[in-house]
């Protein structure tokens, strides 16, 4: 049994675009032709590959085919580069990557800018919590990911990036109103906090370490890294901020430390285990930028989040 490459690529475009109509526009085909291609591939493989919803999503079998299509596209690009063909003749290759919001908002993009300046590439970035980005690798949605998972995903390589250190901070006015006697458990139980989203564990972890039920305090949800930091700096609540977003304000007195130990989040780079010069070059830029910007990776329990003493 063989998997026709043109049909596999069509499936990847359908998953990327989310609808058959959008995939048809990108492929310059009719929606009927796209649907017929997917049906032909499903019949050939004897598997349902697409859940026909809005947006469409790949089944487990479909994810495997999408992963194959992306791998072949990357290898094809590398081979054409070996032939000396330029981006003007082949077009840039799309590289899908997953990254957590705080990395995306701070150190991640400069590395991609350098990679793009040196290689014919465009990026399709998927933003998710660092505890969940590895799942996008497993599904074939991305070729590389910034993740808190130190154990390699099947078929992937892993490299340490560094540690993002988060501290609980707030404005002086917020402290005076809500925590006038410091971060005591009774005061923290009533003081508003800022969460990124409902999967954000940083504030919850800090509250547990301070002896407070993490579900008790009122909370704002601000699902964007820079906006999250802005909400804390405006006094909506206290929150865990990395040094990138708090050092200047702490030095100026516009923010103060709430109290308690910081939380270290160890980050790792995982990518498909392919002999791809392009993917390796992108990884090298990311690792280099991370090592300049982040703290060195130390022994963090489980490769995830853990309170750490002050340096």
pTM for the complete prediction? 0.80
pLDDT value of position 90? 57
Look-up of token digits 């040094």: 243
73: pLDDT strictly greater than 80:
yes
What pLDDT does 107 receive? 96
CB 57 within 8 Å of CB 63:
no
Q: How many domains does the chain have?
A: 1
* Domain contains 8: no
Q: pLDDT tens-digit profile of 258-298?
A: 999 999 999 999 999 988 889 999 999 999 999 999 999 86
- pLDDT for 115 beyond 80: yes
Tokens for 232, please give them.
Answer: 């804390």
Indicate whether 70 belongs to any domain. no
CA atoms 43, 66, 16, 84: torsion sign: negative
Full domain range(s) for residue 217:
164-264
- The whole-number average pLDDT for the span 36-57 is 93
Q: Token pair of 242, please?
A: 């990395």
Q: Could you read off the pLDDT of 84-103 as tens digits, one per residue?
A: 765 555 578 889 999 999 99
CATH number at residue 230: 3.40.190.10
Environment class of 11 (CB within 10 Å of its CB; exposed 0-12, middle 13-18, buried 19+): buried
Task: Look at residue 49 and tell me if it is in a domain.
Answer: no
Structure tokens, 189: 């139980």
Half-sphere exposure of 86 (CA within 13 A, CB side): 2
Whether the pLDDT of residue 229 is over 90: the answer is yes
Judge residue 155's burial from the number of C-beta atoms within 10 Å of its C-beta, 0-12 exposed, 13-18 middle, 19 or more buried: middle
Give me 50's structure tokens.
């697409």
pLDDT at 85: 64
289 inside domain? no
């Amino acid at each position: 049994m063989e998997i026709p490459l043109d049909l596999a690529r069509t499936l990847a475009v359908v998953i990327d675009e989310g609808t058959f109509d959008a995939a048809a526009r990108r492929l310059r085909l009719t929606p009927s032709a796209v649907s017929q291609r997917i049906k032909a591939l499903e019949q050939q493989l004897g598997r349902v590959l697409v859940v026909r919803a809005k947006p469409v999503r790949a089944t487990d079998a479909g994810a495997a085919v999408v992963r194959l299509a992306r791998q072949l596209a990357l290898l094809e690009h590398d081979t054409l580069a070996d032939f000396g063909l330029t981006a003007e003749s082949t077009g840039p290759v799309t590289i899908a990557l997953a990254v957590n919001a705080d990395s995306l908002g701070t150190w991640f993009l400069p590395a991609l800018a350098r990679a793009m300046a040196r290689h014919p590439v465009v990026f399709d970035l998927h933003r998710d919590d660092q505890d969940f980005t590895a799942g996008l690798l497993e599904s074939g949605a991305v070729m590389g990911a910034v993740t808190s998972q130190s154990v390699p995903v099947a078929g992937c390589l892993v490299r340490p990036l560094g540690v993002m250190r988060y501290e609980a901070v707030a404005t002086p006015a917020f402290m005076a109103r809500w925590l006038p006697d410091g971060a005591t458990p009774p005061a923290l139980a009533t003081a508003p906090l800022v969460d990124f989203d409902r999967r954000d564990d940083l504030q919850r972890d800090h509250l547990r370490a301070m002896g407070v039920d993490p579900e008790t305090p009122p909370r704002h949800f601000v699902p964007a890294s820079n906006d999250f930091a802005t909400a804390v700096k405006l006094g909506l609540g206290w929150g865990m901020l990395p040094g990138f977003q708090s050092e200047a304000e702490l030095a100026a007195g516009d923010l103060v430390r709430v109290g308690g130990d910081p939380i270290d989040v160890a980050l790792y780079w995982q990518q498909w285990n392919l002999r791809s010069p392009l993917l390796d070059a992108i990884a090298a830029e990311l690792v280099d930028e991370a090592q300049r910007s982040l703290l060195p990776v130390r022994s963090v329990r489980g490769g995830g989040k853990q309170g750490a003493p002050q340096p």
